[in-house]
Amino acid sequence: MCCNLFWGGHGEVVSDLNKVLDMNCEYTKWVAMWGNAMSISENRPEGYGKNITLRYPIHCPFNGDKIRLTFDNFCGTEPIQIEKTTVLCQGKFHSVSFDGNDCVKIEAGKNAVSDEVELPVVRGETIFVSFYLKECAQLRSSVYVQGPLSGGKYAVGDCTEVPEFDINISRKTNICYFLSNVSVHTNQENRAIVCYGDSITAQDWPDLLQQKFEAAGINNVAVIRRATSGSRILRQYSCITYESYGLMGKNRFDHELPTDGADTVIIQQGINDIIHPVGTEVNPFRPMSDLPSVQELCAGMDWYVQKTLEFGYKVFLGTLLPIEGWRTYADFREVLKNQFNEYMRQNKNVNGVIDFDLAVQNPENPKSFAKGCDSGDHLHPSLQGYEKMAECAFNVLSKQ
């Protein structure tokens, strides 16, 4: 029987579970320990999947006694059906149900939260969520993610209870489909920080920030990524060529911001608003009329800040990075970026500013990345650049 909902490798074995778990702790609240945004997959003729299992590793920053999963069809235009879901924890598979049923149908634009799954979650271990798409499913709600704690695999057939996928029928993927949140029932002092943004936040620095907290012995923080590549604050594309560049802020922020146990948000977005418009003579989908004024950009960020405060979260703004050498680079874009950064640095309505720009720029030429910090496209940082971003964020947040 399938439930129709309308609302909206092995884990590391810990040798002495009782030694790791604080048996005197009382688990009293739900906190997100892993999460992603949901965006729009690139429109391709092969954008459907059938008879495949998707598996994602979930890093556990906290101890807990049960978890619940959220599957999200937010950007879908058709219902999808998940036939079976399991969680691999401590070498044992645990079944996941939805209103008591193994199977769940999720309508377009909606999500489904699982029943609670009783299992001992241990800080520092990795559990694995697997789910099986038996029938043809539109693979539209998804997001690209990258980092040392991110990634996944897919395999042909129902492999939800197979410890290791056969390499002949499986592949790695950095696309996360449908799974948008994993929350754990845990201690009162544990909390989540949400990192909101575009492709720069979809890549390594949030994972590296999580690792920095843990390396410093700060074990009550989960870093949750809500980022979609190509997205802008003020605009979105309606054409199928570029719709995978994601939703504009007012169409995604309210959906992504509510997060179990979150009390802080880092917002780093705006560069795509500045670099995308090139004129219809160059690209018919990217008119120069899409280029915002600095006043419009600031008003968009002010809206983010106000919404964040309404949720009761602290808010930190992240400055935009160097872009000299990017293929659409121009002096007027540099000026606009710098004006927007100064607005953020001077903003008195937020809890702080994380100056990513200063952390990765070349001190002799602030328009460009410092040596070793450029991935090569003059827009996205290298791993070294992402390390500097994570260090910059850690230095600000660890003092709060």
Residue 236 binned pLDDT confidence (cut-offs 50, 70, 90): very high
Q: What is the pLDDT of residue 24?
A: 53
Chain-centre distance for alpha carbon 34: 9
- What is the average pLDDT across 25-52? 93
Q: What is the pLDDT of residue 2?
A: 57
Distance from C-alpha of 294 to C-alpha of 292, rounded to nearest angstrom: 6
Is residue 8 within 8 A of residue 110, CB to CB? The reply is yes
Q: What is the pLDDT of residue 178?
A: 98
Q: What is the pLDDT of residue 17?
A: 47
Question: Which structural domains are found in the chain, ordered by start?
Answer: 2-183 (no CATH), 190-397 (3.40.50.1110)
Residue 18 predicted with pLDDT over 50: no
Q: How would you label 265-282 residue by residue, b for 16+ Cβ within 10 Å and e otherwise?
A: bbbbbbbbbbbbbbeeee
Question: How many C-beta atoms surround the C-beta of residue 161 within 10 A?
Answer: 13
- What is the average pLDDT across 323-334? 98
Work out whether strand 141-144 and strand 39-40 pair parallel, antiparallel, or are unpaired: antiparallel
Q: What is the pLDDT of residue 16?
A: 46
Distance from C-alpha of 347 to C-alpha of 339, rounded to nearest angstrom: 12
- Amino acid 289 reads S
- What is the average pLDDT across 201-217? 98
Question: How many C-beta atoms surround the C-beta of residue 394 within 10 A?
Answer: 20
